[in-house]
Amino acid sequence: MPRIVAERADALPALAEVFREHGYEGASLSLIGAATGLGKGSLYHFFPGGKEEMAKAVLGEIDAWFEQHVFATLREATRPEEGLAAMLDAVDGYFRSGRRVCLVGAFALGDTRDRFAREIRGYFSRWAAALCAALARGGRGAAAAAALAEEILADIQGAIVLARALDDPGAFARAVTRLRRRYEMGR
Amino acid sequence: MPRIVAERADALPALAEVFREHGYEGASLSLIGAATGLGKGSLYHFFPGGKEEMAKAVLGEIDAWFEQHVFATLREATRPEEGLAAMLDAVDGYFRSGRRVCLVGAFALGDTRDRFAREIRGYFSRWAAALCAALARGGRGAAAAAALAEEILADIQGAIVLARALDDPGAFARAVTRLRRRYEMGR
DNA sequence: GTCTATAGATCGATAGAC
DNA sequence: GTCTATCGATCTATAGAC
């Protein structure tokens, strides 16, 4: 059997899945070991800080992914509407059209908010800022852009909650569609 | 010291607070014992099914509260707009203007969705149905009412996520305000 | 009914062989 | 680097005194 995990970063996707499915407290080292194929010794070699360091690494990778695929796109798009459309595409893909939860949102609601407050707040505030700037470049006033950015983020996060609660990914898909239509980002 | 908990129902508010603050896994029997003032013996006397029965009882009480103060109001209001306004008042109060999370939403996002799938789905689907019916009585078509009900619920749930994530209850207050204004429910 | 004591399992984390 | 063995702490749940 080939070695799948050769360095710390290789373990992050499996690690993220465990945290997403079981939450921070529910993600036991046994589950993590099974998901990554690593024994506890290896895990503590890669993450001397234990479970907290594992979760921080996962949050950091999620942040980096959104920074690259979402926030940067929003900031760099020549036409702001293109940035918004690209954001919705990326978000729809990332959340598997509603079949995957937002780990950062789940951590925010759950027992883990205080422990990772900095990371959680950074993720959402930079997302809101990038979206707000794009909306402002699209011609909206500063206050209106900020309010709208907040509303769009709430819609996305709330749709993830509903999709999970109703066991209906369509609830998320419909949210993405209405956001696309509303800002004339349909393709 | 007077006995505070004389019957099962007396323990539910404290129980709910513990689950809300620490999540299902994080709510240990020690925490629960401290919050309710009951020893493990008493807790297992009231809830023979253990922690799972405690959580189900809490979800049931939340459901009953919303049934009485939100769903029924939506269904019974003579003018639908009054029902919507009353719903937003009740919701704003219940979630302490954004300082309190929605336990059902948190359970839906977290590790506990499967265990309480029936309760979680029932809460949100009945909320959506009552809201949808009120919107339809207000003159909207069936499809439009259903879509709008889903959007309003997503906005509320997402605003709770944002308020917690940004540590800014204002994110929730602003959501309530924009919902009030948008559907001309301002007072 | 409520308590203390504790069983039995599992937790996160560490040590040491290889 | 990766493993196994194991630690002490903590968990849920039970038993039995009162």
**DSSP state string for B37-102:** T--HHHHHHH-TTTHHHHHHHHHHHHHHHHIIIIIHHHHH-SSHHHHHHHHHHHHHHHTGGGTS--
Average confidence (pLDDT) over B147-157: 98
Residue nearest to nucleotide C12 (CA to C1'): A29
Strand D, CB < 7 A, residues 32-91 of B: 40-41, 44, 48, 50-52
Residue nearest to nucleotide D13 (CA to C1'): B50
State residue A93's pLDDT score.
Answer: 98
Contact state of B25 with A111 under an 8 Å Cβ cutoff: yes
For residue B36, give the nucleotide whose C1' atom is nearest its CA: C2
Average confidence (pLDDT) over A93-102: 98
Strand D within 7 A of A39 CB? yes
Q: Percent of chain A scored above 70 by pLDDT? A: 95
Q: Which nucleotides of C are covered by protein (CB under 7 A)?
A: 1-6, 10-17
- Using a CB–CB cut-off of 8 Å, the residues of A that contact B are 21-23, 25-26, 101-102, 104-106, 108-113, 117, 120-121, 123-125, 128, 147, 150-151, 153-162, 164-167, 171, 174-175, 178
Residue nearest to nucleotide C2 (CA to C1'): B42
Q: Is the pLDDT of residue A47 over 50?
A: yes
Nearest chain B alpha carbon to A122: B166
Mean pLDDT, rounded, of chain A: 94
**Range of lowest pLDDT (A51-55, A174-178, B110-114, B160-164):** B110-114
B108 min Cα distance to partner chain A (Å) = 5
Round to whole Å and give the CA distance between B76 and B95: 23
State residue B7's pLDDT score.
Answer: 83
Round to whole Å and give the CA distance between A122 and A104: 10
| Minimal Cβ distance to A23: which of B111, B120, B158 | B111
- By CB atoms closer than 10 A (0-12, 13-18, 19+), residue A183 is middle
Average confidence (pLDDT) over A17-31: 96
Average confidence (pLDDT) over B79-101: 96
Sign of the dihedral defined by the CA atoms of residues B99, B104, B109, B110, in that order: positive
- What confidence tier does A7 reach under pLDDT thresholds 50, 70, 90? confident
Contact state of B109 with A109 under an 8 Å Cβ cutoff: yes
Q: Is the pLDDT of residue B117 over 90?
A: yes
| Minimal Cβ distance to B125: which of A102, A124, A166 | A166
Round to whole Å and give the CA distance between A33 and A40: 7
State residue B78's pLDDT score.
Answer: 87
Contact state of A161 with B157 under an 8 Å Cβ cutoff: yes
Going along chain A from its start, the domains and CATH numbers come out as 8-182 (1.10.357.10)
Q: Percent of chain B scored above 90 by pLDDT? A: 90
CA of B28 to C1' of C4 (A): 18
A108-156 pLDDT tens trace: 999 899 999 999 999 999 999 999 999 999 999 999 999 999 999 999 9
Q: How far is CA A146 from CA A44, A67, A134, in A?
A: 42, 19, 10
DSSP A68: I
Which residues of B fall within a CB distance of 8 Å from A166?
A: 121, 124-125, 128
B26-38 pLDDT tens trace: 999 999 999 999 9
Q: Is the pLDDT of residue B1 over 60?
A: no
Q: Structure pTM? A: 0.95
Interface test with A, best of B62, B157, B168, B177 (most A CBs within 10 A): B157
Q: Is the pLDDT of residue A5 over 70?
A: no
- What confidence tier does A4 reach under pLDDT thresholds 50, 70, 90? low
